[in-house]
């Protein structure tokens, strides 16, 4: 693509340049999708399919302080996603709508690939994991107060390790090279035998 994709903070709906990215106010309008299709030489419907399928694309303005995407797929649902969504509803308002002050939007999305740390939500560009309704309420309050709440696990685990720390692959020899041995013969390194 040889053309800079840009736009104003108000989004495409009123931007004189009809081609813009999600950074332009966090959403992309239907005229922008048409312009992108034209720019890429693709059918409009194919660009529209991408924009409507992936939840990182927004088709209308979203909260300028925080876009909260709560995972509602089975592992998160079994671990309390419905309660997280109730917290969002209570503090922000209805799903998929801007809050009254225009600062927050919340959505339910499909699996975000952090199931081991369920329940979780993506807020703006970061994952917030191992959440409870109380913790999520505090995170929303912190965003509202202009703070930057910490991302990651809220039970203190590193990445997706079990709570309390790793239980496998804990031998330091695995990482310091002392367990390494020369490989005498690579598996499957012989030429294939000819069959009659
Ligand atoms: S089910 Fe929620 S991150 Fe996968």
**Max CA separation in the chain (angstroms):** 79
Mean pLDDT score across all residues of the chain: 87
| Single pTM value for the model | 0.77
Overall average pLDDT of the 75-81 stretch: 98
Contact residues for 40 (Cβ-Cβ < 8 A; gap 6+): 1, 47
**Tens-place pLDDT, residues 168-194:** 999 999 999 998 888 888 888 888 887
Q: Is there an atom of ligand 1 within 6 Å of 112 CB? A: yes
Distance 33 CA to ligand 1 centre (A): 29
3-state secondary structure of 29: coil
Residue limits of CATH 3.40.30.10 in the chain: 66-153
Residue 129 falls in which region: left (phi positive, over 0), alpha (psi -120 to 50) or beta: beta
How far apart (Å, rounded) are the C-alpha atoms in residues 143 and 105?
12
Task: Determine the atom of ligand 1 nearest the C-alpha atom of 74.
Answer: 1
Indicate the top mutation candidate among 70, 72, 75, 80 to test ligand 1's pocket, ranked by most ligand atoms within 8 A of CB.
75
How far apart (Å, rounded) are the C-alpha atoms in residues 131 and 84?
8
How far apart (Å, rounded) are the C-alpha atoms in residues 74 and 106?
19
Indicate the top mutation candidate among 68, 73, 153 to test ligand 1's pocket, ranked by most ligand atoms within 8 A of CB.
73
User: Could you give the strand order of the β-sheet that contains 121-123, starting from the edge strand earlier in sequence?
Assistant: 104-109, 66-71, 121-123, 126-129, 152-153
**Tens-place pLDDT, residues 142-175:** 999 999 999 999 999 989 998 888 899 999 999 9
When the candidates are 3.40.30.10, 1.10.3720.10, 1.20.1090.10, 2.30.33.40, the CATH number that belongs to 66-153 is 3.40.30.10
């Amino acid at each position: 693509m040889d053309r800079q994709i840009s736009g104003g903070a108000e989004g495409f709906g009123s931007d004189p340049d009809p081609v813009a990215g999600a950074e332009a106010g966090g959403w992309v309008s239907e005229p922008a999708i048409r312009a992108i299709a034209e720019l890429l030489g693709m059918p409009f419907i194919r660009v529209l399919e991408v924009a409507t399928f992936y939840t990182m694309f927004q088709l209308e303005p979203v909260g300028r302080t925080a876009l909260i995407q709560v995972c509602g797929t089975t592992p998160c649902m079994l671990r309390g996603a419905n309660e997280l969504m109730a917290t969002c509803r209570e503090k922000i308002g209805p799903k998929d709508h801007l809050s009254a002050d225009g600062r927050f939007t919340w959505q339910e999305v499909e699996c975000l690939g952090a199931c081991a740390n369920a329940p979780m939500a993506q807020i703006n560009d970061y994952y917030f994991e191992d959440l409870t309704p109380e913790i999520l309420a505090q995170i929303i309050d912190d965003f509202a107060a202009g703070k930057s709440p910490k991302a990651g696990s809220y039970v203190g685990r590193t990445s997706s390790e079990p709570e309390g720390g790793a239980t496998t692959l804990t031998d330091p020899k695995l990482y310091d090279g002392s367990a390494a041995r020369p490989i005498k013969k690579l598996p499957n390194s012989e030429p294939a035998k000819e069959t009659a």
